[in-house]
């Protein structure tokens, strides 16, 4: 139990992290800077990382003077492990020449009672992306076994490279024979999301974190992976639409063929598509082919804020809503992949718009993912400012009260038949 406010963290010029004894930690929700509340803090979970934020000075709270203090040293933030959603981001004062931050989420962090604390909440207990105790040798062995089984399968080569070089959690799970199998298919996308993981223009100021797939796999290559994974995992999930590809609905015909072939030989499990839901006409045919669910990515249910971040090419938010409608008509399970940003996503207008969407279309599940983007870039999308925030806990309670059937989590659920 935390009985004191954690102290501020900072890093010196050599990258060593210290706590400041006379300053408490400060967090940020939108434009609001303040000490965190007890319900916004948890002990830093395992498999998290601490980040130094270049060109940004740490900020602390002087309890005696009751004021914010800008420290001379570098700010420190935490990147939380999967299954956790940020309750607040790191507070700092940026220099004029501060570089753009890479594509991560930057949680406020502090130190108290001999341990680190972070502004986050656990929203999913699923151990799907925990790898503590799993050796690199075991992952390498699993990759070699896949390559030996399918030496001519380009998608296997791509995914084993993702597991060994990029340390992609989904690809590592595939070679370990557990949980969810990634099935990237699309080289192109019909959106230009500001925080796209796989494609960034040279002038963005930050690189993409994953390399986009450079070929169009055949349905046979996809089928081989699906069938082998189904033999190894008792509750298999198969997901099209990964961080290393574009928009899977642009390859709907290919996906239909692969899934239909898999289901024709009684292939089991949940077949899911992670999508921007831009092409409503593809949804019912995909359902008939054997797709089980879709997960719709969006940062906001307000059309203007949605467009500002996702920058759709040739479609609008209405297409997203129509795709959800078609999915529900077809009996598909519908999740929202909500890119949550503390101080924006939990403001009154955002919450109202999200509830309207969930209730109108009877959305089944909300995955509370974190917006991985430099905070200044995201806040700059709305020059008017987001307004007062209610906080993550109140956000969850408000949505649950308005739509009591909705479940919350972080990962694609396995759907029992």
- Angstrom distances, CA of residue 15 to CA of 50, 109, 130, 272: 11, 16, 27, 42
Asked whether 61 and 91 are in contact (CB, 8 A), the reply is no
Q: Rounded to whole angstroms, how far apart are CA atoms 155 and 158?
A: 5
Residue-wise pLDDT tens digits, 361-396: 999 999 999 999 999 999 999 877 778 999 999 999
Closest to 79 (Cα-Cα) out of 103, 49, 101: 49
The whole-number pLDDT of residue 44 equals 97
- Provide CB contacts within 8 A for 185, sequence distance 6+: 213, 216, 217, 222, 240, 245, 248, 251, 254, 255
In 233-316, alpha helices (H): 252-264, 283-289, 303-310
Residue-wise pLDDT tens digits, 320-366: 999 999 999 999 999 999 999 999 999 999 999 999 999 999 999 99
Domain boundaries, the chain: 7-122, 187-212+234-409
Q: Model's pTM, two decimal places? A: 0.96
Q: What is the mean pLDDT of residues 271-298?
A: 98
| DSSP letters spanning 45-60 | PTT-EEEEEEEEEEEE
Q: Which of 53-62, 195-204, 231-240, 307-316 has the lowest mean pLDDT?
A: 195-204
> Where do we find the tokens 């602390």?
60
Q: Reduced to 3 states, what is the DSSP secondary structure of residue 197?
A: coil
The whole-number pLDDT of residue 207 equals 86
Q: Which CATH architecture has domain 187-212+234-409?
A: Alpha-Beta Barrel (3.20)
Q: What is the mean pLDDT of residues 73-88?
A: 98
Q: Which of 275-279, 349-353, 378-382, 403-407 has the lowest mean pLDDT?
A: 378-382
Residue-wise pLDDT tens digits, 133-170: 999 999 999 999 999 999 999 999 999 999 999 899 99
| DSSP letters spanning 235-259 | S-EEEE--TTSS-GGGGHHHHHHHH
State residue 46 phi and psi, 5-degree precision: -65, 155
The whole-number pLDDT of residue 417 equals 66
Residue-wise pLDDT tens digits, 203-220: 888 888 888 999 999 999
Is beta strand 180-182 parallel, antiparallel or unpaired with respect to 237-240? parallel
């Amino acid at each position: 139990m935390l009985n004191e406010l954690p102290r501020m963290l900072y890093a010196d010029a050599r990258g060593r992290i210290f706590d400041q004894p006379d300053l408490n930690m400060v967090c940020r929700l939108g434009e609001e800077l303040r000490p965190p509340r007890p319900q916004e803090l948890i002990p830093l979970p395992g498999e998290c990382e601490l980040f130094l934020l270049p060109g940004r000075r740490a900020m602390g709270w002087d309890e005696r003077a009751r004021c914010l203090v800008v420290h001379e040293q570098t700010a420190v933030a935490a990147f939380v492990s999967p299954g956790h959603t940020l309750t607040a981001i790191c507070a700092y004062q940026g220099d004029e020449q501060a570089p753009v931050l890479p594509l991560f989420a930057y949680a406020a962090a502090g130190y108290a009672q001999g341990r680190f604390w972070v502004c986050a909440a656990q929203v999913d207990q699923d151990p799907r992306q925990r790898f503590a105790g799993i050796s690199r040798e075991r992952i390498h062995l699993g990759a070699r076994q896949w390559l030996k089984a399918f030496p001519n399968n380009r998608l296997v080569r791509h995914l084993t490279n993702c597991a060994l070089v990029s340390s992609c959690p989904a690809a590592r799970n595939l070679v370990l024979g557990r949980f969810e199998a990634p099935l990237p298919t699309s080289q192109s996308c019909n959106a230009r999301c500001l925080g796209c993981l796989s494609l960034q223009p040279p002038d963005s100021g930050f690189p993409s974190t994953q390399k986009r797939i450079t070929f169009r796999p055949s349905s046979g290559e996809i089928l081989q992976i699906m069938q082998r994974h189904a033999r190894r995992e008792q509750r298999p999930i198969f997901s099209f639409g990964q961080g290393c590809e574009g928009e899977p609905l642009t390859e709907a015909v290919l996906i239909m063929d692969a899934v239909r072939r898999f289901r024709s030989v009684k292939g089991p499990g949940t077949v899911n598509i992670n999508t921007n839901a831009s092409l409503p006409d593809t949804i019912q045919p995909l359902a008939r082919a054997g797709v089980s669910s879709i997960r719709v990515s969006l940062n906001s249910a307000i059309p203007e804020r949605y467009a500002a971040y996702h920058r759709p090419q040739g479609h609008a938010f209405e297409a997203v809503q129509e795709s959800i409608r078609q999915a529900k008509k077809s009996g598909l399970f519908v999740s929202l992949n909500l890119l949550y940003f503390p101080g924006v996503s939990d403001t009154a207008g955002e919450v109202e718009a999200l509830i309207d969407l969930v209730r109108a279309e009877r959305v089944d599940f909300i995955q509370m993912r974190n917006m991985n983007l430099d905070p200044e870039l995201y806040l700059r999308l709305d020059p008017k400012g987001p307004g007062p925030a209610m906080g993550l806990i109140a956000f969850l309670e408000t949505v649950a009260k308005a739509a009591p059937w909705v479940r919350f989590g972080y990962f694609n659920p396995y759907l029992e038949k």
